[in-house]
Amino acid sequence: MIKLNELRIGNWVEFDGKAIKVECIDKKNGWLNYPIKKGNFEYLITESSLQPIPITKEILVWCQFTNIKDHFFELKIGTGCYWHKIYAGVKDLNEGYGNFAELRVGDETIGNFVNFLHELQNLFFALTGKNWLINLCY
């Protein structure tokens, strides 16, 4: 389950086994409106029916991360001399850690781990003020 206050318009989440892009959020009434229609019925999706999309190697590639070593990826964000790097790792939990992304400046970690695509999208927005245009083939 994802809480609606964690979402922004444009975030990718999972509903009914499919990736959907958030189009509208009604936090007052506690639902997300996405135009999935069957006949004349339009779904009003509540937060209890949403699932986060875990960070995977495929998602990092779709998000234009660069593979830097083994299971580790990075994405450079910025212009001129103002750059941030988001590091991400994808590995089996049996090998010590799961999939994650973190914000680093130089070699110092300054951001919390994020584990899901919508959190990664929100981190990108916080750094750039722009929505991340992701072509998700989920």
pLDDT, tens digit, 9 for 90 and up, residues 65-120? 899 887 888 888 876 677 777 888 786 544 555 677 676 766 677 766 788 899 98
Instruction: Read off the pTM.
Output: 0.80
CA angle 53–56–62, rounded 5-degree value: 90
Buried b / exposed e over 66-86, threshold 16 CB at 10 Å, is: eeeeeeebbbebeeeeeebbb
120: left (phi over 0), alpha (psi -120 to 50) or beta: alpha
Q: How many C-beta neighbours within 10 Å does residue 46 have?
A: 13
What is the distance between the alpha carbons of residues 22 and 67, in angstroms, rounded to a whole number? 28
pLDDT, tens digit, 9 for 90 and up, residues 15-50? 888 888 888 887 777 777 655 565 676 667 778 888
What is the distance between the alpha carbons of residues 42 and 16, in angstroms, rounded to a whole number? 14
